[in-house]
Amino acid sequence: MTSSLAIHQDDTPQRAVIYCRVSSAKQKASGAGLESQQHRCRQYADARGYTVAAVFPDDISGGGDFMKRPGMVALLSFIDAQPDENFVVIFDDLKRFARDTEFHIKLRREFDLRGAQMECLNFKFEDTPEGKFVETIVAAQGELEREQNRRQTIQKMKARVEKGYYINNKPPRGYVYEKRRGDGKVIVRNEPIASILQEAFEGYASGRFQTQVEVKRFLESHPTYPKDLPDGTIRNQRIKDILTNPTYAGCVQAPGWGVSLRDGVHDGLISLAAFERIQERLNGIARAPIRKDINEDFPLRGFVLCDDCQKPMTACWSTSKSGKKHPYYWCKTKTCERHRKSIPRQKLEGAFEVRLRKLQPSANLAALAKDMFTDLWDMRHARAELERKTLEAQAAKIDKDIEALVDRLIETASPSVSQRIEARVSQLEREKLLIAEQIEKPLPNSGTAAELFEHALLFLANPWKIWEKGSLQVRRMVLRLVFAEPISYSPEQGVRTPKTTIPFRYLGGLGGEKMGMARWGGFEPPTP
């Protein structure tokens, strides 16, 4: 039976399957590629009297293993399910079959083992040495074209990254593509997601969020922020990927193509300096996440320590025999003498609030602090001008160092030396980006100082007021800003004298009873 016969000896029409393929999902979405191929293949089958049993489309590149193409796997499975049939496999172009010589030969063998014959609209298969040779040459030509196209595409993409453009098909979360005249597609902020992410970055960089879990919960608390799972949660790996992505710092890179970190055309959500602080925190000592059950009912849970064992106390609601619930704090350390001895929430938190109220400085002391801050701000302005000049000198030196290293790279023939030089150049480029970012920062001015001092002084003047009216998140922040370490509590003696942070220790020292004017001659007795 030859391939030209369309009718079996029992007058049964020859059954055929059609294979169509485009190189990307975008071509599939447009519809023109797959539909036009299928239309031509059906016309071919009708002209030869074939009955089309099925059509198998693919939207994946022609290079690589054909077993990774869903359409081709389905086609082979369809033939395997009907071993008594000898199908004709029709496709539009030989390049749609396989654009890799090795896999072309392997796929050809798979069809031969199944008794299926291949027919192409623009190529005639011949079972002769000359025919096989031509087929191999055509397949090799397809592979060459694919590799050339790939090389050209990579060269264009690499050049675009080198110019500072983000090139991935899908923009990072918080961004969206926008077409700009002269630039093409550029990623821009996508609100409100961008602002939510910005707050998450800044919170982790500043220590407001101590762990990645806290960042995760913060993002999950915003209804407008996209979630990963149907239950409204975000995958842990997603948080790590976001926090380590330099795109959010306004930078681009492509290490696989030898493109080091560089300033991007797009605007970052955070500064590069803040991004570096985040990386230092990620690579530093891991911290235990704040437990989910630390809620509004017990804001001091995990922060207040048992005075006997110095271990964090826990808290819970206890139900009495009458069915009424009572809130308690208690020590959970089994070896402690106070293990499971309950302390009413009102007693413990009341003692803490009394201590917090005492941190409020007098009005005269607050005014003195404001004058001191103003003087410090003026000093900072002068120091900032000096630092800018120093940074400019450092940037110039880095440029000279990079130029010297590039000259050495051109001269060296050792691969190991070349790798070390390239790594050093990449490091210097990163340092240069950080310095350039600091140079571009505007110098502080008096207007900015007034705005900053207003919020800072409000907090220093009355942290109790913020605690009293704040949410759980705000209260946890107050604890971190006021106290340098966890506080201890004793049922008999109450809250032990806590160690406060530097601003409150300083203000407390200014307002202490030991302050006084030094007499003439200093504190030592005057000499004759």
Give me the residue spans of the domains in the chain: 15-149, 175-282
pLDDT at 2 over 50: no
Q: Name the most confidently modeled range: 1-5, 267-271, 429-433.
A: 267-271
Three-class SS of residue 483? strand
Q: Looking at the predicted structure, is the pLDDT value of residue 32 above 60?
A: no
Token pair of 113, please?
Answer: 């083992």
User: Buried b / exposed e across 18-48, counting CB within 10 Å, b at 16+?
Assistant: bbbbbbeeeebeeeebbeebbebbbebbeeb
Q: Is the pLDDT of residue 524 over 60?
A: no
Query: What is the rounded distance in angstroms from the CA atom of residue 110 to the CA atom of residue 104?
Result: 10
Tell me whether strands 304-306 and 487-490 are parallel, antiparallel or unpaired: parallel
Residue 16 has a pLDDT of 92
Identify the pLDDT of residue 4: 44
Residue ranges in 184-225 assigned as alpha helix (H):
193-206, 212-220
Which pLDDT band holds residue 78 (cuts at 50, 70, 90)? very high
At 5 the pLDDT is 46
With a cut of 60, say whether residue 526 has pLDDT above it: no
Q: Helix (H, G, I), strand (E, B), or coil: what is residue 226? A: coil
Q: How far apart are CA 205 and CA 211, in angstroms?
A: 10
* Mean pLDDT value of segment 311-326: 87
Q: Categorize the per-residue pLDDT at 240 as very low, low, confident or very high, splitting at 50, 70 and 90.
A: very high
- Better-scored residue on pLDDT, 186 or 519: 186
C-alpha 355/C-alpha 499 separation (Å) is 12
- Quick one: pLDDT at residue 255? 85
Residues 231-251 have a mean pLDDT of 91
Q: Burial code of 204-231, b = ≥16 C-beta within 10 A, e = fewer?
A: bbeebbbbbbbbbbbbeebeebeeeeee
Lowest mean pLDDT among 209-213, 393-397, 429-433: 429-433
Please say whether the beta carbons of 12 and 87 come within 8 A: no
pLDDT at residue 457 tops 70: no
- 398 pLDDT tier (thresholds 50, 70, 90): confident
Asked whether residue 36 carries a pLDDT value surpassing 90, the answer given is no
**Which segments of 48-168 does DSSP mark as H helices, in order?**
70-80, 94-97, 101-113, 129-162
**Residue 362 has what pLDDT?**
61
pLDDT band at 453 (very low <50, low <70, confident <90, very high): low
The single-letter DSSP state of residue 424 is H
Which three-class secondary structure state does DSSP give residue 11?
Answer: coil
In the CATH scheme, what is the code of domain 15-149? 3.40.50.1390
The values of phi and psi at residue 258, to 5°, are 75, 20
Compare 210 and 452 and report the one with higher pLDDT.
210
pLDDT recorded at residue 201: 92
Residue 449: pLDDT band (50, 70, 90) is: low
Could you tell me whether strands 259-263 and 304-306 are parallel, antiparallel, or unpaired per DSSP bridges?
A: unpaired
392/185: higher pLDDT: 185
Q: With bands split at pLDDT 50, 70 and 90, how would you rate the model's confidence at 285?
A: low
**Distance separating alpha carbons of residues 202 and 503, to the nearest angstrom:** 22
Closest CA to 76 of 50, 108, 48: 108
Position 165 scores a pLDDT of 92
Q: Is the pLDDT of residue 184 over 60?
A: yes
Amino acid at 381: H
Q: What is the pLDDT of residue 84?
A: 86
Classify residue 366 as left (phi > 0), alpha (psi -120 to 50) or beta.
Answer: alpha
Answer whether the bond into residue 192 is a cis peptide, omega within 30°: yes
Residues 6 or more apart whose Cβ sits within 8 Å of residue 57? 20, 21, 22, 28, 34, 38, 71
**pLDDT category of residue 456 using cuts at 50, 70 and 90:** low
pLDDT at residue 3, as a whole number: 45
Name the strands in the sheet holding 487-490, side by side, starting at the edge strand that comes first in the sequence. Answer: 304-306, 487-490, 494-495
What tokens does 457 get? Answer: 């002084």
Question: Which residues, including other chains, have CB under 8 Å from residue 172's CB and lie 6 or more apart?
Answer: 166, 187, 242, 245, 247, 248
Percentage of the chain modeled with pLDDT above 90: 13
**164-181: average pLDDT:** 90
Mean local confidence (pLDDT), 382-408: 80
Residue 424 has pLDDT above 70, yes or no: yes
Check whether 9 has a pLDDT greater than 60. Answer: no
Question: What mean pLDDT, rounded, does the chain reach?
Answer: 79
At residue 378 the predicted structure's pLDDT band, cuts being 50, 70 and 90, is: low
CATH number of 175-282: 3.90.1750.20
pLDDT at 197 over 70: yes
Cis peptide leading into residue 289 (ω within 30°): no
